[in-house]
Amino acid sequence: MTTPFDPEAFRRALHRAADVVADYLETVGDRPVLPNVEPGDLLSQLPAEAPEDAESFDALIDDFQRLVVPGVTHWNHPGFLAYFSSNGSEPGILGELLAAGLSVNAMLWHTSPAATELEIRACDWLRRLLGLPDAFQGHVNDTASVSTFLALAAARDTATDRDIRHEGLSGGPHLVVYCSDQTHSSIDKAVVALGLGLHQLRKIETDDEFRMRPDRLLAALTDDRAAGRLPIAVVASVGTTSTTSVDPVAEIADLCDREKVWLHVDAAWAGSAAVCPEERSLFAGWERGDSIVVNPHKWMATPMDCSVLFVRDPDLLRAAFSLVPEYLETREDAHPAKIDLMDLGVQLGRRFRALKLWFVMRAFGAAGLREKIRRHLRWGRRLAQRVDDHPDFELAAPAPWSVVCLRALLPDEPPAREDEFNRRVLEAVNRRGDVFLSHTKLQQRYVIRVAVSNLRTEEDRVDLAWQQIREEAERLRTDSDWNRPNEGS
């Protein structure tokens, strides 16, 4: 057994890479969160084609440090408060390294029994941690985009008496999916991919706290039925992307029951907070979903990629996607404990993602996971209180968890100029490099968004973000260019 590589050289390189990773994580906070690069900077430094001759492992690691690290956005930086962070925790990185060493494909039980059974058990551990009932069975996908896509595929294929798997959508009625106007763009992509068409996606109006209005949902369902279209699924969000608002899931579940419509719950980010029993009132009703997506790679310290799709009836996913060609049939097919996870989705190749999730849950322990979430919730809610208390700022949305949407106020200026002011404040803060914040728009208005869900963030970093927002707003208010007439809007 040989490869072109000297085993000792590889071992040395792995140890060097181990130190590179350990050093990086110890010092990442000393860098600016965002790299100081322009589009094309790295491209211009890379040769146009692969080298003819082999290069050493040291050359690869040197170039990783020289070319790649200075050009990445530092998701593991304690000041990464943008989007939803996805953190490479220490046990997660260990899991990724060991899984890469095995390089198994968990498509069939037979092609890696341990990877399959560990995935089943790790998802079951997660289900129990989140307080979800036994009725749910989980499996791991790469992203919530895929998890949601699979759930809606099952909803689509079970919605009618027609055999959509074989007949397709042509010739059948229009099938309609419902979500709120705050729902993640992955729902739109799923509706496109599944062939339903965006005109069959109803973005239901939200209330003044950005929660789906059940009365509007019912009205839309009724309209569609009256027009001969068939409602197939409602996507309720526990933690929308912009404001982390929580749809009234219990009411929506009542409606889905009555209307016989699939309920998919998108809790990709906020779902991890269900490890804290005291937070579970925010999840009321999610246990009535037909499917639920929770991404451990968002708020449970698991490195990208790890999205868990819980479904009540995995046979509905199998009915959509199971196709076993002869070359993948195996002799264990009759055994009750044997599950071929490829049958639950589109992807045949499946990385051993369960290992890192198992490592994360064990290395933190349930107590450690709860503590991590509680710290973020405490800091996020305190920041929201401070914004609310400050005369020159306002909360742009309620902050039920640890994401704060805020806006600097210019009461004597037109809205467009206030929006531009906030945009400039955000850019000025991000340029300083200590924190990275993102933005969103709410009711057409520009909003600064601070997301406290990064494993490496500490309380003082959240304080610093707030301090720099105030400083940059103060600086801009007195900036002569900003205050010159006909400027800045």
Positions in 127-166 near a copy of itself (CB under 8 A): 128-129, 142-146, 149, 153, 156, 164-166
Decide: 345 and 146 in contact? Cβ < 8 Å.
yes
What burial class does residue 4 get, using C-beta atoms within 10 Å of its C-beta: 0-12 exposed, 13-18 middle, 19+ buried? exposed
Question: Per CB under 8 A, does 431 bind a copy of itself?
Answer: no
Ramachandran angles phi, psi of 139, nearest 5°: -145, 165
Which of 202, 424, 456, 470 lies at the binding interface for a copy of itself (CB under 8 A)?
456
Q: 314-321 and 144-158 helices cross at what angle (nearest 10)?
A: 80
Q: Nearer Cβ to a copy of itself, position 138 or 214?
A: 138
Per DSSP bridges, beta strands 403-408 and 393-395 are antiparallel
Tell me the two tokens of residue 249.
Answer: 């899931």
DSSP 422-453: HHHHHHHHHHHSS-B-EEEEETTEEEEEEE--
Find the largest Cα–Cα distance for the chain: 79
Site for a copy of itself in 295-324 (CB under 8 A): 297, 301, 303-305, 307, 320-321, 323-324
Question: Per CB under 8 A, does 416 bind a copy of itself?
Answer: no
Which of 120, 234, 253, 270 lies at the binding interface for a copy of itself (CB under 8 A)?
120
Q: Nearer Cβ to a copy of itself, position 298 or 470?
A: 298
Least distance between a copy of itself and beta carbon 96 (Å): 4
Per DSSP bridges, beta strands 137-141 and 307-311 are antiparallel
State whether the Cα torsion 77-80-83-87 is positive or negative.
Answer: positive
Torsion, Cα of 98, 101, 107, 111 (10° steps): -110
Cα(243)–Cα(65) distance, rounded to whole angstroms?
A: 36
Least distance between a copy of itself and beta carbon 250 (Å): 26
Which of 33, 76, 292, 468 lies at the binding interface for a copy of itself (CB under 8 A)?
76
Q: Count each helix (H run) and each strand (E run) in the chain, helices first.
A: 15, 11
Which of 170, 478, 480, 486 lies at the binding interface for a copy of itself (CB under 8 A)?
170
Which of 185, 281, 480, 486 lies at the binding interface for a copy of itself (CB under 8 A)?
185
Site for a copy of itself in 20-49 (CB under 8 A): 20-22, 24-26, 28-29, 35, 37-43, 46, 48-49
- Per DSSP, 95 falls in state H
Q: Nearer Cβ to a copy of itself, position 3 or 480?
A: 3
Question: Per CB under 8 A, does 335 bind a copy of itself?
Answer: yes
Q: Nearer Cβ to a copy of itself, position 98 or 474?
A: 98
Site for a copy of itself in 237-256 (CB under 8 A): 241-242
Which of 62, 66, 72, 431 lies at the binding interface for a copy of itself (CB under 8 A)?
72
Q: Nearer Cβ to a copy of itself, position 255 or 422?
A: 422
Question: Per CB under 8 A, does 428 bind a copy of itself?
Answer: no
Tell me the two tokens of residue 299.
Answer: 């708020």
Least distance between a copy of itself and beta carbon 189 (Å): 5
Residue with tokens 């990783």: 64
Least distance between a copy of itself and beta carbon 215 (Å): 25
Site for a copy of itself in 359-378 (CB under 8 A): 359, 361-368, 371-372
Report the candidate in 360, 376, 363, 350 with the shortest Cα–Cα distance to residue 457. Answer: 376
Judged by CB under 8 A, the stretch of 122-130, 259-267, 286-294, 376-384 that binds a copy of itself is 122-130
Question: Per CB under 8 A, does 449 bind a copy of itself?
Answer: yes
Q: What are the strands, taking DSSP E only, across 283-391?
A: 291-294, 307-311
Site for a copy of itself in 277-296 (CB under 8 A): none
